[in-house]
Structure 1
Amino acid sequence: MPALTPIEAARPKALEFFAGIGLARMGLEAGGFRVAWANDYEPDKKAMYDAQFGDRADHQFTLGDVAAIDASELPQDASLAWASSPCTDLSLAGARAGLAGRQSSAFWQFIRLLRELGDRRPPVAVLENVTGLATSHGGDDLAAAIMAFNDLGYSVDVLAIDARRFVPQSRPRLFLVAAQDAPEETDEFVSDLRPDWLSGIFTDSSLRTHRAKLPAPPAPMIEGFGALVEDIPPSDGLWWDADRTAAFVASLSPIQRERVTAMRRTPGVKHRTAYRRTRRGEAVWEVRPDDISGCLRTARGGSSKQAVVKLGNKRLQVRWMTPREYARLMGAADYDLSGARTNQALFGFGDAVAVPAVAWLAEHYLEPLATGRLTRIDARELRAIG
């Protein structure tokens, strides 16, 4: 196992709950942290994690249910605890059971472990989840999550960040940043990071919240997917045959078919993404009109997999998106895929957080907060905004 360099050893230590294939780790380490411990319960994800990161003397991966972990097993001097808890019960694509759902309730195990750490709990904790958390059960789930952090002595900031600000993929996510010592605040209730649908959280007198002063994030990308597409020859077997392609076109709505036909006739080559959806009980394909990918999802069936449509010069070809394209759209272009099965990789990336979104948050907020470089006020004296 390679030894740590002095620079690596000096970095603040982070814990990575619900680590998946390690994209949060990639972002946190790009933003100045050193991830010392990780956990996930899926062997396929751990296999990809191990292939990407290898062994490191100061890192431990605990495979298994987070409910079986005891706080004594965790590093006791961490500066940050990151949790990308399961979003199945909160996603707009799920059953919306909320934090009480079988999978999303793993969040409460994260809270349990923070509580058991006592005065050794990290000064900063983050919950990353889908934006559906903000509306789940009329907003009660988000308030309950904030209250849980409040009960542990944390003040909470809530940010909405779309990965589209960094990669050509529409992937909005919610980030709850919990701080024992809250940073100096901004007076802005509505910004690119805190849209108006979050404003009620900051005016709720029952919650202890803050709004850190942060730089403006990059503007959302309006193009770029085509530049990430793998160069696969037209004769390659990955492209669908004539019958399957004809069935794809036949499933398009009249408006969709007209748009696709127009793009097909134009000179030059364009790439678009497509999803299969159910409309009025029928499976249909829908093609995005722009050069941006739709949100990648966990590939547990054809309806969740994304297709690539190649158009132009009077030709149209369709195929499934490749694992390497998934990796590029998650900001992990060089991820080691050498030993991963296709569906294993698609599921791992579709169930993860975009690397550059985490890196931006770590660089501009989490690392300065954990190391005291943000101007801070004592959260115990923080007056709820209202």
Structure 2
Amino acid sequence: MTELVLIPSDASATKPTAAEFFAGIGLVRLGLEDAGFEVTWSNDIEPAKKEMYEGHFRDPAGAHTYEPGDIANVKGAQMPDDLALAWASFPCTDLSLAGARRGLAGSESGTFWHFVRVLEQMGDRRPSVVALENVVGLATSHGGEDLAAAIRALNDLDYSVDVLALDARRFVPQSRPRLFLVGALEPPADEPVPNSELRPDWLQAPFGDPSLRTHRALLPVPPPPMTTGLTELADKVPSSSDLWWDEQRQAAFVSSLSPIQAERLESLRKGRGLSRRTAYRRTRGGKPTWEIRPDDISGCLRTARGGSSKQAVVEAGQGKVRVRWMTPREYAKLMGAADYRLDGLRTNQALFGFGDAVCVPVVAWLGREYLMPLVRGELRSAESRRLAVVGA
């Protein structure tokens, strides 16, 4: 019987380097560093996010480059040498189901094309692996044409592309489904059976398009989706705190509830223990209403530029009800960044920074299970692995 032995690469002795485009407040960096990467270059256009990023990481001079400003001004020539990975969480504004869905032709989501341009300008120096993150709306934007266009653009740079969906609720009590594209110059062999956990039926179209170069890496099944956890994660705010809404505001909240929502709140109020739920403000029939989630997880955190985007926390039980806005620390914990530095930050600055970011443990899982093995060559096809044959 022939025994195949994998010879480890010398690269395993050093940390592969990564660049993060649209870096925001650096949550991708936290996840990639947890997976073993060294992030050496970052870019973002938002000054308030740059303030948060530098306030948290506090890199010594020369250890890391933060390039502020529009990605349109970034040139391939200025990118570091020997990058193993380039990550881009490009804006979702034109792809979100809640937006006008202008797609990759939109002014914000269209910044994807500048990322592609930078890679093209890097020539032979471009990284062996790229990763893109966005809302799941990318899969259906313009009937799937935007996703196909993104894959085709990476194909033109010699990257084969994998597409998978992953929800943050597998790691934290927050519903936050996201789409990930992983491009590889040396792609791995396809898994023998498509992984329904990561590539559900609604995501199969790119793999069946003969004009696209795709692959499906064999990956472990991620943790199951969480159904509880918010009650324990939420800040334990004393009843005397000024954060709780006053009687008038709370009464307006309760009066806006539909009969089903009011019944849900009453059931929680009668509970023997305290429960915490999140609530969104909606407009139904032209009237503002509040809707309380039925489960013990948070709704998807969003940028706090509008009142309807902010989530309230409803604490109920033992015959009492209290309501308040979710705190920046709760946002941080729900994004897997409980230790993030918040000192001196404006509340809306922090909420916007976290609401527009990528969940840390999602990035860490993808980094450990996919990106790092891909960079190391451990997921390459059998034909390209460095194998030694022992015995016969």
- Equivalence for 2:15: 11
Q: Which whole-Å CA distance do the structure 2 matches of 1:34 and 1:190 have between them?
A: 29
**One-letter amino acid of the counterpart of residue 15, structure 2:** R
Map Cα deviations across residues 139-159 of structure 1 (whole Å, 9 max, x no partner). 000000000000000000001
The answer to whether the aligner puts 1:301 opposite 2:306 as a matched pair is yes
- Equivalence for 2:39: 35
What are the ranges of 5 or more consecutive residues in structure 2 without an aligned counterpart? 1-10, 385-392
The answer to whether the aligner puts 1:355 opposite 2:360 as a matched pair is yes
Q: Measure how far apart 1:187 and its partner are.
A: 2.4
Q: Which whole-Å CA distance do the structure 1 matches of 2:156 and 2:284 have between them?
A: 44
- Equivalence for 1:94: 99
Match of 2:285 among 280, 284, 300: 280
Instruction: Please report the TM-score for the alignment, with normalisation by the length of structure 2.
Output: 0.93
- Equivalence for 2:251: 246
Match of 1:25 among 24, 29, 33: 29
Match of 1:311 among 287, 306, 316: 316
Q: Does the 8 A contact of 1:273 with 1:306 survive in 2?
A: yes
Q: Measure how far apart 1:339 and its partner are.
A: 2.1
Q: Measure how far apart 1:9 and its partner are.
A: 8.8
Q: Percent identity?
A: 64
Map Cα deviations across residues 145-178 of structure 1 (whole Å, 9 max, x no partner). 0000000000000010000000000000000000
Q: Measure how far apart 1:190 and its partner are.
A: 4.6
Q: Which whole-Å CA distance do the structure 2 matches of 1:81 and 1:110 have between them?
A: 9
Q: Which whole-Å CA distance do the structure 2 matches of 1:376 and 1:149 have between them?
A: 19
Q: Which whole-Å CA distance do the structure 1 matches of 2:259 and 2:294 have between them?
A: 14
Q: Measure how far apart 1:278 and its partner are.
A: 1.3
Q: Which whole-Å CA distance do the structure 2 matches of 1:190 and 1:9 have between them?
A: 32
Instruction: Please report the TM-score for the alignment, with normalisation by the length of structure 1.
Output: 0.95
How many equivalent residue pairs? 373
- Equivalence for 2:171: 166
**Secondary structure of the structure 1 residue equivalent to 2:295:** coil
Match of 1:345 among 346, 350, 360: 350
- Equivalence for 1:374: 379
Q: Which whole-Å CA distance do the structure 1 matches of 2:146 and 2:194 have between them?
A: 21
Q: Does the 8 A contact of 1:182 with 1:378 survive in 2?
A: no
The answer to whether the aligner puts 1:335 opposite 2:348 as a matched pair is no
**Secondary structure of the structure 2 residue equivalent to 1:79:** strand
Map Cα deviations across residues 331-375 of structure 1 (whole Å, 9 max, x no partner). 000000012110000000000010000000000000110121223
Tell me: CA distance 1:350–1:213, structure 2 relative to 1, closer, same or farther (3 Å).
Answer: same
Map Cα deviations across residues 52-79 of structure 1 (whole Å, 9 max, x no partner). 1002333100000000111111102100
Q: Measure how far apart 1:377 and its partner are.
A: 6.3
Map Cα deviations across residues 95-120 of structure 1 (whole Å, 9 max, x no partner). 21101111000100000000000011
Tell me: CA distance 1:146–1:221, structure 2 relative to 1, closer, same or farther (3 Å).
Answer: same
Match of 1:135 among 137, 140, 152: 140
- Equivalence for 2:149: 144
Q: Name whichever of 281-290 and 160-169 sits farther off.
A: 281-290
Q: Which whole-Å CA distance do the structure 2 matches of 1:177 and 1:274 have between them?
A: 34
What are the ranges of 5 or more consecutive residues in structure 1 without an aligned counterpart? 1-6, 380-386
**One-letter amino acid of the counterpart of residue 262, structure 2:** R
Q: Which whole-Å CA distance do the structure 2 matches of 1:20 and 1:255 have between them?
A: 38
**Secondary structure of the structure 2 residue equivalent to 1:125:** strand
Match of 2:202 among 197, 202, 210: 197
Q: Does the 8 A contact of 1:182 with 1:377 survive in 2?
A: no
Runs of 4+ in 1 over 6 A off after TM superposition: none
The answer to whether the aligner puts 1:206 opposite 2:205 as a matched pair is no
**Secondary structure of the structure 1 residue equivalent to 2:294:** coil
Q: Which whole-Å CA distance do the structure 2 matches of 1:170 and 1:110 have between them?
A: 28
**Secondary structure of the structure 2 residue equivalent to 1:140:** helix
The answer to whether the aligner puts 1:119 opposite 2:156 as a matched pair is no
**One-letter amino acid of the counterpart of residue 221, structure 2:** A
Q: Which whole-Å CA distance do the structure 2 matches of 1:281 and 1:190 have between them?
A: 43
Tell me: CA distance 1:8–1:311, structure 2 relative to 1, closer, same or farther (3 Å).
Answer: farther
Q: Measure how far apart 1:229 and its partner are.
A: 0.8
**One-letter amino acid of the counterpart of residue 325, structure 1:** E
Tell me: CA distance 1:66–1:9, structure 2 relative to 1, closer, same or farther (3 Å).
Answer: farther
Q: Which whole-Å CA distance do the structure 2 matches of 1:324 and 1:142 have between them?
A: 34
